[in-house]
Chains A and B, each alone.
Chain A
């Protein structure tokens, strides 16, 4: 017995925190997840697209540092491409990825644990398995669902909505629930509330409406999909989505603009918006998105002019660290506004990957005592609008530094739907997975 125990503890120590597994002792405020090492330590809180991309590119940059990724999920579930999985155009293998292999290949330590606090004054991250100190911290926690905007602190309504009408915007079992919902729908009104901007995308909510409509049409389900959109019109790629709604699914999709949610009654299946009042048979209720809990715990949320939380991290627009803390970087969806012209970078996987790379380069430059040179991302998204024939549309964003130092955005919609964009989408996904998950 003792031998086996010792063996397990020793084995576990290489991939995860030894104390919690070796003996079920309570984690206290002084439990150390890892002792301080000799090299500078970079802790990455969140192992999604941004966090794992940063870890992978710190390796590519030859950063002489110890890199530790803290991630609560045991597997990697890709939100990009997940809409296609909902209607069986793609299988589960496409979305599900191993995280251990890449961590070994790229020389970082992956610890499965929940971030419970960030104390920037002490430069420590608290987790469910103990605390860890850092020299540089990369906060890449993604989003949380802001149900409080609808329900305040009514936990009963929040929990019911989460279970009955899941949003499917985070890497968890909600996707399975939505897939089952689509496959088992017998007909009637399916309502989708779109999160107000800025919101995470992928999965694109308009694409989700299209693939569901395609599935219902193919299987002759007498369904109506009502999209409650807080925006004044469909955007981005408004032309391409509108053409798909009108030409492919005129009897199924109803898009209602200017529909800001005023009241949600999940128990009586009713939603009141500024544009319409809707009763539904089933729904995908997507509440507003906010930066993940860890950003709030780190006290990194920005404030509006009138003192309210922006709900996103306040960052230096080009150096990408926290406004008040140059040792804390923010990567991916947690990032606050970067420009007066366009506000936020798209909260996309492409941008998260790109910012992850840029932050890795910045940190490597600082570790080598080099000057940090500004780099900007770009963005690329594809949305499938038809399952058969398979057709997609696309949008591309480019960024430039203007003479006054601000960032300017250029957006190009490719809204003529075509099969070759579906192929490009696959190439994009494979290139991305190949970049940091292979």
Chain B
């Protein structure tokens, strides 16, 4: 995992350029386009889906995110896909998950980068075409060992 040889030696502080954030209007337009494409004309329903993300994230480089379909899959109804969007990231689409009905449930956790404080959106497309949505506004702070 860690590159130990690098850690054995000193290194010059490299210059990193912060990821440029994009203008709010464009960001929102891009997010809306993503959601529209994902929803396929349906109106997303604000129910049945949980988006668990810290309201104040201490480490913007690794914000834990859980997306969970509240109900288990039933014979007729399962979840086909999750879409996760961070609308003020330089690339708003963060990731997608596709589920087989054999999973029996949809509950995933990952860690994402957030360029700044913003609204994070999770969407689910159900096998019957229904679209579920959940939005959470996240404030980015910094913590680490010494937050």
Contact = CB atoms under 8 A, between A and B. Distances in A.
Interface string B1-41: 11010011011111111100000000000000000000000
A296 interface: no
A427 B15 contact: no
A341 B147 contact: no
Interface residues of A, number: 50
Interface string A341-355: 111111110000010
A348 B16 CA distance: 25
A396 B13 contact: no
B75 interface: no
Nearest to A379: B145
Given A380-B7, A402-B18, A411-B59, A198 B12 contact: no
Contacts of B12: 373-375
B143 to A, nearest CB: 6
Given A375-B12, A400-B16, A346 B4 contact: no
Contacts of B13: 318, 374-376, 399-401, 407
Contacts of B11: 375-376
B64 interface: yes
Contacts of A346: 144-146
A413 B62 contact: yes
Interface string B32-66: 00000000000000000000001000110110100
A277 interface: no
B140 to A, nearest CB: 10
A343 B12 CA distance: 21
B8 to A, nearest CB: 7
Interface in A417-438: 424, 427, 431
Interface stretch (A165-173, A231-239, A323-331): A231-239
Nearest to A342: B142
A430 to B, nearest CB: 12
B142 A343 contact: yes
B117 to A, nearest CB: 14
Interface in A229-270: 231, 233, 235-236, 238-239
A344 B9 CA distance: 22
Given A378-B7, A396-B2, A236 B64 contact: no
A105 to B, nearest CB: 19
Contacts of A198: 145-146
Nearest to B1: A414
A201 interface: yes
B18 to A, nearest CB: 6
A231 B16 contact: no
A410 B143 CA distance: 10
Contact of B61 (A239, A343, A399, A410): A410
B73 to A, nearest CB: 25
B10 A375 contact: yes
Contacts of A400: 13-16
A206 B4 CA distance: 25
Contact of A236 (B8, B14, B143): B143
B16 A236 contact: no
Contact of B144 (A199, A357, A397): A397
Contact of B18 (A376, A403, A411): A403
Interface string A376-420: 101110000000000000111101111100011111111000000
Interface string A181-197: 00000000000000001
A407 B13 CA distance: 9
A198 B144 CA distance: 10
- Nearest 4 A-B pairs (CB), nearest first? A198-B146, A346-B145, A344-B146, A376-B13
20 contacts: A197-B143, A201-B145, A231-B147, A235-B58, A238-B64, A239-B64, A318-B13, A342-B147, A344-B146, A345-B146, A347-B146, A375-B10, A380-B2, A380-B7, A394-B2, A402-B15, A412-B62, A424-B2, A427-B4, A431-B4
